[in-house]
A = this chain, B = another copy of it.
Amino acid sequence: MALTIYDISKKAGVSIATVSRVLNGSENVRESTREKVLSVIEKYDYTPNAFARGMGLHSLRTVGILCANSSDQFLARAVYYLEQELHANGYESLLCCTGYDLSDRQSYIRLILSKKVDSLILVGSNYVSNVEEENAYIREAAGQVPVMLLNASYNCPNVYSTLCNDYSSMFEATSSLIRAGIDDVLYLYDSNSYSGTKKLSGYKAAMKSYKLADYAPFIHYYDGPTDQIRTITSFIQEIADRGTTFHGIIASDDNLAIGAVKYAQNNGLKIPEDLAIIGYNNSMLTTCCTPELTSVDNRLENQTHQLVQTLLGVLGGEEMPAESVFSGKLIKRATTP
C-alpha cells in the first residue's frame, strides 16, 4: 500500500497539516521543518493520492480535449499543440475522439464532465452547427466548466472562441487567382461547419467583387471520405465530365486539393498553367505532392497558444476576451502562377 500523508507526518514528527502546507507551498512553514518534511517525502518517494486531492481541491488539473478524429492531419496537430501547452502549464489532457454524431458527442461530454475536468476544449469548427438547437449541448456544458472553441465561434457565456479569419483568407485566396487571370474557379468543400460556411462566403464574396456572380455551377460539396484521395479525384473528374470548365480550384482542405492535383495529372493538365490549385490548412501534405501545393496557413500554433492562455486566465478568475481572431496567410508554392 502506498504511503499516506499520515505516514509522512509521523516519520517527520509533525502534523498532517504541516505536511500539507509543505506540499502546497504555503509560506507559513519554518524553513527547518520544511526541509525535514521534504527530506522524508524524498526518502520514501511519497506522492499524494490524486483522488483524495481531487476531493479537496475539486480539481485534478485535467482538461478534456474533444475532436472528431485525432488522426486527421489538422486535428492531430491541434491536439498535439494543445497538449503541449497544457502540460507546460500543469494540466493534463483527456482526449476524446467523438466523431461527428451529435448524440455521441453529447454522451461523451456528459461522461467527461462527470470526471470533473476543469474545462472542455472543442477542436474543429464542426462542433458548432448552423442549426441553433444543435448547439444546446455547448450551452449546457458551459454551465459547468469554461468551454474553449478552436477554429470556431459561438456567442454564449463561459464559452471562449479562438479562430482564424477564414472568410478573409478565402476571399484573398480566391482574389489572387482571379487577379492572375483565372475567373473560372471551382470551389470544393467538405463541411458545412462554422468555418466551412465562412470559407464559402469568402469565395462567393471574392467572385462577386470581380463581377463573377454566376459562380453557382462552380461550387461543389464533397461528402465522401476525406482521407481517400482517389475518391476525391473521381469526384472532380465527374464534375469535369458533366461539362463544367475550370482553370482554377480552391479547396476548403488540403486533402481535397491533393485530389485536384491528381485530377490534373490524370488528365495531362499542366499545373499551374492549365489548372491552378489552392488548398487550406498548410498541412504536411502540401509538400508531399508534386508540384507542391499552395495553401492557406491558419496559424494553428498561434491559435492553440492563445486558446490555452485564455483558458488559464479564465480558470484564474480573470476577465478574458470571448473571441480571439487570427489572420490567415496564403503560402505560395508551385500550384499557383
Contact = CB atoms under 8 A, between A and B. Distances in A.
Interface of A: 47-52, 54-55, 58, 60, 62, 65, 69-71, 73, 76-77, 79-81, 83-84, 87, 92-97, 108, 110-116, 227-230, 258, 261-262, 265, 284-285, 287-290
Nearest to A55: B51
Contacts of A47: 110, 113-114
Most buried by B among A76, A108, A258: A76
Contact of A65 (B62, B95, B230, B261): B95
Given A51-B51, A92-B115, A96-B83, A71 B77 contact: yes
Contacts of A60: 51, 115
Contacts of A230: 287
Given A50-B114, A55-B51, A115-B92, A80 B84 contact: no
Given A51-B55, A94-B95, A290-B290, 20 more contacts: A47-B110, A47-B113, A49-B116, A50-B115, A51-B52, A51-B116, A54-B54, A55-B55, A60-B115, A62-B94, A70-B80, A70-B83, A83-B95, A83-B97, A84-B97, A87-B96, A94-B94, A228-B287, A229-B284, A288-B289
A315 to B, nearest CB: 18
A178 to B, nearest CB: 28
B112 A92 contact: yes
| Copies of this chain in the oligomer | 2
Nearest to A81: B71
Contact of A71 (B80, B113, B115): B80
Nearest to A114: B47
Nearest to A59: B51
Nearest to A69: B80
B288 A285 contact: yes
A62 B96 CA distance: 12
A97 B77 CA distance: 11
A116 B76 contact: no
Nearest to A75: B76
A92 B96 contact: yes
A212 to B, nearest CB: 31
A265 B58 CA distance: 59
17 contacts: A48-B114, A51-B52, A71-B76, A71-B79, A76-B76, A87-B97, A92-B112, A94-B95, A95-B95, A229-B284, A261-B290, A262-B290, A285-B285, A285-B288, A288-B289, A289-B289, A289-B290
Contact of A80 (B50, B97, B288): B97
Contacts of A55: 49, 51-52, 55
A288 B258 contact: yes
Contacts of A288: 229, 258, 285, 288-289
Contacts of A54: 50-51, 54
Contacts of A87: 96-97, 108
B83 A79 contact: no
B83 A76 contact: no
Nearest to A266: B290
A335 to B, nearest CB: 13
